[in-house]
Structure 1
Amino acid sequence: MDEISTSTLFIVLGLLVLCSAFFSASETGMMSVNPYKLKHLANEQHKAALRVTAMLERRDRLIGLILVGNNLVNVAASSIGTLIGMRLYGDFGILIAGIVLTLIILIFGEVTPKTLAALHPERVAFPSSVVLKPLMKVLYPVVWLLNKICNTFLGWLGVSAEQHHGSSLSSEELRTVVHEAGALIPQQHQNMLVGVLDLEKATVEDIMIPRNELVGVDINDEWKDIVRQLSNAQHNRILLYRDSVDDALGFIHSRELARLALKDQLNKASLLRSVREIYFIPENTPLNTQLHKFQSSKERIGLVVDEYGDIQGLVTLEDILEEVVGNFTTDIADYQNDEILPQADGSYLVDGGINLRDLNRDMQLNFPTDGPKTLNGLVLEYLEEIPEASLGLTLAGCPMEIVEVQDNMIKTVRLMPHLQQN
């Protein structure tokens, strides 16, 4: 009779260890499940995901349920293990049972199931929720009392479990998630996603075409000169001004020019009547804000002004979108940019007026962009004087040589990224 009873106790002990493993795995699986994957599945009406989502809305109750169940089975297992040890080895069996049972619970009831659940949280959390949900109803009075006591202590510490709504990602954390996606998201798509996040870090001043590079048509010029400039225009929208850019009149679309030409109505008066009102943009407007403003106002181009209302440059919708999608080629040797000319020795002749953000993006460099906006400005700020040609220096780890200085500006710089210091 004692032998049968002892065998039965071994079976019950084994079942209790399995229950302990279940609760341990459930705890880790429920807490480790990817919240964004879970939300995605819940939005697709995945039954198990909906069930897990509902239980995770009150994590304090879920944890209380699991810990109550786990402690009950562990205490029961300890009692039965002690009884088995006493039957087999007498009083000395208590010590043996304690040591052996501790090892069994640690290996099979804690470490192994928790490791498995951490590696495959969804595979554990979804099926375990089938058991945990009805178990919550059975043990709810105990769980409620336990949570009431615990939440009271947490309240004294200024923590409210009822006001917990999960975690949200900051832009920096989201940027890390994108980078860590690896092969799940193609590199080009990762760059675009990061580009969207970086829009809030830059302003229109960072990407605008500066005032001294603006191309337009002076309406006070001779008509034949105006026609020649309009015929050779390389942009769809042409800026018209009177005497100087400060007296800008507006933009005219090439499509409107073609319409006037077909009707034989192309003259100064018709140009002035067809010009579109200028859309002005403060220079410190963040790119993400300006993108939204372009969209809401149905505009694609605007003149950038400073705090005094003086025109500083021009920015287009395409300029902002390029910050997201980048250039249409990733090979710098094939990149058709007159401002960056590859040389046979591996160096590059670069226009001193190039925008630093464009230079960094095109050549994968790391020049600082929080100060001067051009390479010329960056070098002048560093040297604190106008240099002579043939001067060599290193900025942001990139060796360079001043090739040409003209009109108090650095016109050409030779960059040597192949000699870049790491």
Structure 2
Amino acid sequence: MSWLEMLDSTFWITTAAILCLLLLSAFFSGSETALTAASRGKLRAQADKGSGGAERALKVTEDGEKLIGAILLGNNVANILSASLATALLSRLFGANGVAIATLVMTTLVLIFAEVLPKTYAITAPETAAARVARPIGWLIAALSPIVALVRLLVRGLLMLFGVRTDPDSHVLSLREEIVGALSLGHSEGTMQKEDRDRLLGALDLSDRTVEEIMTHRSKIAMIDADAPPDRVLSEVLASPHTRLPLYRGERENIVGIIHAKDLLRATERFLRSGDGKLDSVSDLDILSVAKKPYFVPETTPLDEQMREFLKRRTHFALVVDEYGDLRGLITLEDIIEEIVGEITDEFDIDAEHPLKRGEGGDFILDGGMTIRDFNRATEYSLPDDEANTVAGLVIHEAQMIPNEGQVFSFHGFRFEILQRKDNRITRLKVRPL
């Protein structure tokens, strides 16, 4: 049979069918890449702006197992059928050599035009491509759903034989982990500033942290004796850099009220106007009548929940207690906000010695009360904060003792030298990586 006789209508119909199947395979490959690589967050943003394609893309990607099953089924049918037709066609033309030629030709065509080219296009603009292919892919899923369901049952049954159980509603990464990973990747690639990354990570971490981790310890709380003369209370409030101060009676843990500087000044002004106008008469002022009722919170309260409570109550100040009701410290709304935006200072803050200094030899000199989280954020290190909140607390935990000045410890890849100790507290350390 001559070549001209072989190039009959069957040849051209088969060739056209192979080309159509290759186009169909390219569509499936590109759709798979687009719908799996597209960000659901970006699709949601586009859908909120009125994009119907983005809305359909969100819908078809809700069940990833069904989506992948339908696309792979269609793609494999197209590839296998096209390869079979090519083998039959080229075997007719070249005889026994047709199988080898068909394998070479179809591998090249499938690799270039049905895999690499459509996937490359889809990965360059996954959200746009996903919006475009969502409608036909939705039809495909609906048409192949019975077969896909059968394949899914078969696959799960085989996996169960090996002790693997699948949950279609579970995700490999949670939304929070995806965001954290994206922020870290953006910072490492230089597309995001460290400060921006820290602020966003700080906001994400609020639900995982408790008030105990950032509260001001009770030993550092400035308090006022409620039984002190009113004129002395007034002087102490005016001399304090804080606007809110706890009032105690008898023992420091017996908090009976919270005095606000503005409330005290207003009460003093009214008292003077209604009296003889002399400052000495302030000694008759009832301080507790000016104070507000103290607000106590458990030390295990998550920071995001505590922030919502502050906003709901329209207060910025709370006292922290443990499970027995004993005073542990205090926390303010500013403390929580500082976990997001960093240290906030104003003209009334005490200009104390900086808690962290960089030494000449690459080491860090820091205050023992500095939190591990603040140290990590400032230095880009990763000291663990599971067992302690402060750097000094971490040293004591690892050393299983209260170290003396001059002692040196090495753990977690760092060298810790005790510079100062006051009573049972480590007040100054030198830290450097090993």
TM-score, length-normalised on structure 2?
0.78
CA RMSD of aligned residues (A): 3.8
Separation (CA, whole Å) in 2 of partners of 1:356 and 1:27: 44
Preserved CA contact (<8 Å) 2:368 2:391: yes
For the pair 1:317 / 2:333, whether they are aligned, the reply is yes
Name the structure 1 match of 2:308: 292
SS at the partner of 2:258? strand
Residue 81 of structure 1 and its aligned partner are, at CA, apart by 2.4
Name the structure 2 match of 1:304: 320
Q: In structure 2, what residue type is equivalent to 1:153?
A: L
SS at the partner of 1:263? helix
Residue 15 of structure 1 and its aligned partner are, at CA, apart by 3.7
Separation (CA, whole Å) in 2 of partners of 1:310 and 1:379: 26
Q: Give the one of 22, 34, 51 matched to 1:29.
A: 34
Number of residues paired by the alignment?
409
Name the structure 1 match of 2:293: 277
Unmatched tracts of structure 2, length 5 or more: 273-281
Preserved CA contact (<8 Å) 1:218 1:244: no
Question: How do residues 12-411 of structure 1 correspond to structure 2 at under 5 angstroms?
Answer: 12-57=17-62, 62-63=67-68, 66-67=71-72, 69-129=74-134, 131-132=136-137, 140=143, 143-153=144-154, 156=157, 164=169, 169=174, 171-182=176-187, 186-265=193-272, 266-267=282-283, 269-328=285-344, 336-338=351-353, 340=355, 342=357, 345=360, 350-362=366-378, 366-394=382-410, 396-411=412-427
Q: In structure 2, what residue type is equivalent to 1:320?
A: I
The 3 A distance-change label for structure 1 pair 323 and 133 is closer
* Deviation per residue, 1:99-134 (Å, 9 max, x gap): 433443343323443344345433433333454456
Preserved CA contact (<8 Å) 2:229 2:283: no
Range with bigger deviation, 33-42 or 371-380? 371-380
The 3 A distance-change label for structure 1 pair 78 and 421 is closer
Range with bigger deviation, 202-211 or 23-32? 23-32
Separation (CA, whole Å) in 2 of partners of 1:67 and 1:96: 26
* Deviation per residue, 1:150-208 (Å, 9 max, x gap): 24435757899997587772544432233224466543332122112222333222222
Q: In structure 1, what residue type is equivalent to 2:322?
A: D
Separation (CA, whole Å) in 1 of partners of 2:357 and 2:146: 74
Q: In structure 2, what residue type is equivalent to 1:402?
A: I
Range with bigger deviation, 402-411 or 27-36? 402-411
Separation (CA, whole Å) in 2 of partners of 1:89 and 1:109: 25
Identity of aligned residues (%): 31
Separation (CA, whole Å) in 2 of partners of 1:274 and 1:106: 80
Residue 285 of structure 1 and its aligned partner are, at CA, apart by 2.2
Separation (CA, whole Å) in 2 of partners of 1:89 and 1:343: 78
Preserved CA contact (<8 Å) 1:192 1:324: yes
The 3 A distance-change label for structure 1 pair 128 and 212 is closer
Q: In structure 2, what residue type is equivalent to 1:42?
A: A
The 3 A distance-change label for structure 1 pair 206 and 72 is closer
The 3 A distance-change label for structure 1 pair 106 and 36 is same
Unmatched tracts of structure 1, length 5 or more: 330-334
Separation (CA, whole Å) in 2 of partners of 1:167 and 1:41: 24
SS at the partner of 1:149? helix
Residue 301 of structure 1 and its aligned partner are, at CA, apart by 0.8
Preserved CA contact (<8 Å) 1:246 1:311: yes
Name the structure 2 match of 1:332: none
TM-score, length-normalised on structure 1?
0.80
The 3 A distance-change label for structure 1 pair 343 and 92 is closer
SS at the partner of 2:331? strand
Residue 319 of structure 1 and its aligned partner are, at CA, apart by 0.9
